[in-house]
Amino acid sequence: MRIISNVLDRLLTAGVALALLSGLFSSAVSAQNVTSEDIIRALLPNGGAAKVRSFRKAEPHPLRGISIEGQLPPEADLPRINLTVNFEFDSASLTNDGILTLQALGQALRDPRLRNMRFQIAGHTDLRGTAAYNLDLSNRRAFMVAEFLAAFYSIPRERLVPVGYGESRPVDPANPESGRNRRVEIINVQPLS
């Protein structure tokens, strides 16, 4: 009887461990359901739509010639995508969920359709903390994303322009402390160069 009890204990322990692991894995994989193709479509000029040939003189982009090294004006209408890249609390260290999101981003930025374009990596925070602290934290996180992409996906650093915006541009202004405001925005700045 004691042998059966020990076997049952081991099976139950193994079953609980397996259930926990599968739960952790499935939640990590579904942390943000964004694919590299979703990212590519969002970042392509005109949403990747085929360009229509025209004999009209092309109008210059209204923001052409502005600096892409600092913060972009809020009215800049450029291809972009907001990604939830998770970091450890109060840190620029990536979590496993954050790494999964950056894997999709890295694959997208290596795609031939985006290979010759430059991107601003814009870090954003919520309203918790001081404005100066949030600006510093968003800068560190934006630089971490750029370094990750350069190190693990061989994206040339000159294609990545990390910039922190702190709490200045919430995606959910009605709820300034919302987690939705803590994000990394990828902006195709190619039309500006």
List, run by run, the mean pLDDT of 10-residue segments along the chain (193 residues). Answer: 48 37 33 85 76 37 48 73 90 94 97 94 93 97 98 96 94 88 90 53
Radius of gyration of the chain from its Cα atoms, rounded to whole angstroms = 21
CA–CA gap between residue 189 and residue 118 (Å, rounded)? 6
pLDDT confidence of residue 17: 36
- What pLDDT does 7 receive? 42
Domain residue ranges in the chain: 77-191
CB atoms under 10 Å from CB of 24, counted, come to 11
CA dihedral 86, 92, 96, 102 (to 10 degrees): 70
Q: Which residues sit opposite 193 in a β-bridge?
A: none
Integer Cα distance of 140 and 45 in angstroms:
28
Determine the CATH number of domain 77-191. 3.30.1330.60
Amino acid at residue number 147? E
Supply the DSSP symbol for 157. G
Per-residue confidence (pLDDT) for residue 89, from 0 to 100: 86
Q: What is the pLDDT of residue 1?
A: 53
Q: How many other CB atoms are found less than 10 A from the CB of residue 178? A: 14
pLDDT number for residue 120: 94
C-alpha span between 41 and 128 (Å, rounded) = 33
Q: What is the Cα–Cα distance from 39 to 80, expressed in whole angstroms?
A: 9
Q: What is the pLDDT of residue 47?
A: 67
Nearest Cα neighbor of 168 from 90, 66, 73 is 73
Terminal Cα distance for the chain, rounded: 77
Per-residue model confidence (pLDDT) at position 180 = 87
Q: How far apart are CA 42 and CA 117, in angstroms?
A: 13
C-beta atoms surrounding 3 within 10 Å: 7
